[in-house]
Amino acid sequence: MIETTLKVLEKAHKKQKSVCLIGDYGIGKSAIIYQYAQEKAQKLGKELVFWHELSEQQKFEIIKNVEKYFIVVDIKLQSVGDISKLTGIPIIVNGNGEHKVVWQPPLFVKALCQEKAYGILFLDEINMALTSFQSTAFEITLQRKIGEWKLSDGVLIVCAGNPLNVNISANPIPKPLINRLLFINFELPTTEEWLKWAITKKLDERVIAFVKLFEELHKDSEEELEQSTRPRSYELLSDMIKGEEDLEFIKTCAYGYLHKITASKFVKFIQLLSKLDYRKYLDNPELFRELNNEHKYALITLLVRHYKSIDKNKLVKLIKVISDDVLELSAILISLIKAQYGKKEIEKHIINKLDYDLTKRIIYLIV
């Protein structure tokens, strides 16, 4: 689903077609837009900037040198507040006894409407906004214009929203609009798709191993003010606990971001990490075969966390046993090390020390 969506966005960008992603909250709609932006900016050799992260001075600088940047303007329509933030404001100009009205566009419009501009106008929460905002947003997606200003051919317009059955605030999208936009029913990513994304984004290895072990990317809450588990939940959790070892802190964050059942499992997994002596398995790799599945994933996590201090010759011997027992675990281990320390590191200390057939099988599975 992720690879197909990225391909659709690429083609829509080239053909100047607007795209609308409809799917449950927290499953990665915004993440895939940002991923596409990152890949596209790199391909074009432009600096990726997110408009909402910039100071006013930086925005003026980008407007002056728009050809250097790939600009992502992410607008949450439900919380815009004032329509002028989209359409601009009228200014009365006096001169020679005559009065005329001139529209002053928002700064993002000045940037995206320049001929050499490249980027994405991302209109999020499109069917949760007020009716007045929705009509303006629909006009932008269909006509590629904001008021009197035409968007650059290098700007992709993407909308996103929730289906009616998961968000009571959502409004039906008019049928004529549906027939004129490229709609994608964006579904929950598979564990393998999420794993590939998470490793690339260098999420905390404890979070990655946990998701791979339990394959629990989605769990709905049934109580008010109780968290649900979503792919986005793990990203937020990873940001908070990366570099943290304090169990109480991790526990608080886990229950703050995940469904209580998922959080309980995650905390137990973290506790297991503190009890398992990874060095014993480096000294005697055959002991790995005696571990249960949860302990095996815990050991993989610990090997990544302590990689810099581990004897690499011992690690290679252990990887050979892991590969013989569960080849996929070796691939996950090497993928995580690669993400943290780079391709040259694993080639020098691991891949080059494995036999050719085993290397081929592992590389085939490496993310």
3-state DSSP of the chain: CHHHHHHHHHHHHHHCCCEEEECCCCCCHHHHHHHHHHHHHHHHCCEEEEHHHCCHHHHHHHHHCHHHEEEEEEEEHHHCCCCHHHHCEEEEEEECCEEEEEEECCHHHHHHCCCCCEEEEEEECCCCCCHHHHHHHHHHHHHCEECCEECCCEEEEEEEECCCCCCCCCCCCCHHHHCCCEEEECCCCCHHHHHHHHHHCCCCHHHHHHHHHHCCCCECCCCCCCCCECHHHHHHHHHHHCCCCCHHHHHHHHHHHCCHHHHHHHHHHHHHHHHCCHHHHHHCHHHHHHCCHHHHHHHHHHHHHCHHHCCHHHHHHHHHHHHHHCHHHHHHHHHHHHHHHCHHHHHHHCHHHCCHHHHHHHHHHCC
- Give yes or no for residue 95 having a pLDDT over 70: no
Percent of the chain with pLDDT over 70: 85
pLDDT reported for residue 148: 80
| pTM attached to this predicted model | 0.79
pLDDT category at 101 given cuts 50, 70, 90 is low
Q: Which domains does the chain possess?
A: 2-185 (3.40.50.300), 191-365 (no CATH)
- Give yes or no for residue 273 having a pLDDT over 90: yes
Mean pLDDT estimate for the chain: 86
Name the residue with higher pLDDT: 230 or 94.
Answer: 230
Q: Note the pLDDT tens digit of each residue in 26-56.
A: 888 888 999 999 999 999 999 999 999 999 9
Provide mean pLDDT across the span 250-276: 95
Q: Note the pLDDT tens digit of each residue in 9-20.
A: 999 999 999 898
Which single residue is written with the structure tokens 């001929």?
A: 115
pLDDT reported for residue 347: 82
- Give yes or no for residue 312 having a pLDDT over 60: yes
Provide mean pLDDT across the span 206-232: 85
- Give yes or no for residue 303 having a pLDDT over 80: yes
